[in-house]
Amino acid sequence: MVQRQVPNPRELLELMKFKKPELNGRKRRLDAALTIDDLRIIAKRRTPKAAFDYTDGAAEGELSLSRARQAFQDVEFHPGILKPAPDVDTSIEILGGPSALPFGIAPTGFTRLMQTEGEVAGAGAAAAAGIPFTLSTLGTTSIEGVRDATLSEPRGPVPGRNWFQLYVMRDREISYELARRAAAAGFDTLQFTVDTPVAGARLRDKRNGFSIPPQLTLGTIINAIPRPWWWYDFLTTPKLEFASLSTTGGTVGELLDAAMDPTISYDDLAVIRDIWPGKIVIKGVQNVEDSVRLRDAGVDGIVLSNHGGRQLDRAPIPFHLLPEVRQAVGDDFTVMIDTGIMNGADIVAAVALGADFTLIGRAYLYGLMAGGRQGVDRTIAILRSEIERTMRLLGVSSLAELEPGHVTQLTRLVPVTRAATEARVR
């Protein structure tokens, strides 16, 4: 028989402690976000459709993006047991400097359209966390503005670093001048982007009539009614424009087509290398052969990337390419990866399979749209927590202890061999 008794009020109070209400709405919603997907839900609720879809969408059927995310989900970890890891070291040396975490913020264009703090929020949060921030050629904050945002943060144990992403435009002098300005502003690494000879077919943007500045339609106005805070920020802050480019009219695709040049070649790389005094990495590499050729050409590293699925749909999955590329280029060549990262465990898996570093794009923008600078801080905090927890559960105390044996990439998409294809034809 269970012994019954009259409830003791004092004991009940010990069991029923009410949480103190959070009166700050922004802090309340960000504290409730436990994953990057949670931040995405908040961002979608608070951002007009055209701006959100520009961030969230990809090219054509969006297969490249969905496959990249699925690839990270199709991972099996293999933890070691009886390997205590009460403290984990997430710091790393990358491209001649430190980073407190094995990821940095990727270059994103039109960032102030998503939320008015834009690149200033991203650069400030990155500097506070001790990780690199990358400014896009199509950024909406100037090179000097990003530099100032980084310098304004209190100096921590790991200093903030700025990288610059460069498109080679039809008017080459524009690109050359941008590189010189970034170098003069103290940016230490250049991401030379090679996967955008023309703009991908971003169908969500076309359906939304997305352009800079935004074009108002009846649908735009109806969609904006429940989001007055976004319009208040947009209308009461400095004009939205490309801080590094003078032309601002037209759709995203039209602007990219005008700015990019399908004739970009190794000759352009040689010119940029002569101009740029710091480290240079090639962003948008999508096969093993190009990885080896670039290593032999003497660049400082590569970024395996399909541009977040925003260019060639059905492009290779960077995470799937990673092990083969690492084996082909050797251990002494810097290999970074982006596209599809939505969890700190994704980053741990990438490092285990040979990535020296990773870059986050959409994950950062979801945080920005959800809560400005505080939202970016929350993104970094979520990923940091997931990285540390995954490392502890695997039984590793440092990133250097991660190895391919910790991860199995489960098979979902299996290439059809030429022999099998020929057999079916016969």
Q: Tell me if 312 sits within 8 A of 331, measured CB to CB.
A: no
163: β partners: 134, 189
Question: One of 78, 307, 320, 406 is an active-site residue; which one?
Answer: 307
Q: Tell me if 98 sits within 8 A of 355, measured CB to CB.
A: no
Domains of the chain: total: 1
Residue type at 30?
Answer: L
* Whether 406 is catalytic: no
Spatial separation of the C-alpha atoms in residues 18 and 406, rounded to whole Å: 42
Q: pLDDT tens digits for 332-367?
A: 999 999 999 999 999 999 999 999 999 999 999 999
CATH classification of the domain holding 108: 3.20.20.70
* pLDDT in single tens digits along all 426 residues of the chain: 788 888 888 877 777 777 788 888 889 999 999 999 999 999 999 999 888 999 999 999 999 999 999 999 999 999 998 888 889 999 999 999 999 999 999 999 889 989 999 999 999 999 999 999 999 998 999 999 999 999 999 887 788 899 999 998 888 888 899 999 999 999 999 999 999 888 888 888 888 877 666 666 677 677 777 888 888 888 888 877 777 765 545 555 566 666 677 889 999 999 999 999 999 999 999 999 999 999 999 999 999 999 999 999 999 999 999 999 999 999 999 999 999 999 999 999 999 999 999 999 999 999 999 999 999 999 999 999 999 999 999 999 999 999 999 999 998 877 766 545 555 545
Does the residue 422 lie in any domain?
no
| HSE (side-chain half, CA atoms, 13 Å) at 195 | 24
The pLDDT value given to residue 174 = 86
Residues in contact with 48: Cβ distance below 8 Å, sequence separation at least 6, in sequence order: 214, 220, 223, 224, 227, 230
Q: Other CB atoms closer than 10 Å to residue 13's CB: what's the count? A: 10
The strand ranges marked E within 8-144 are 75-77, 92-94, 97-99, 103-105, 132-135
Tell how far CA 121 is from the center of its chain: 14
User: Residue 349: helix, strand or coil by DSSP?
Assistant: helix
The token pair that represents 204 in the structure block: 């969500």
Domain range for 403 is: 25-409
User: Residue 44: helix, strand or coil by DSSP?
Assistant: helix
Residue type at 206?
Answer: K
Spatial separation of the C-alpha atoms in residues 346 and 340, rounded to whole Å: 9
The pLDDT value given to residue 248 = 44
Tell how far CA 201 is from the center of its chain: 20
Does the residue 426 lie in any domain?
no
The pLDDT value given to residue 246 = 54
The pLDDT value given to residue 397 = 95
The token pair that represents 69 in the structure block: 């995310």
Spatial separation of the C-alpha atoms in residues 313 and 306, rounded to whole Å: 9
Does the residue 17 lie in any domain?
no
Residue type at 301?
Answer: G
Q: pLDDT tens digits for 102-128?
A: 999 999 988 998 999 999 999 999 999
Does the residue 47 lie in any domain?
yes
Does the residue 304 lie in any domain?
yes
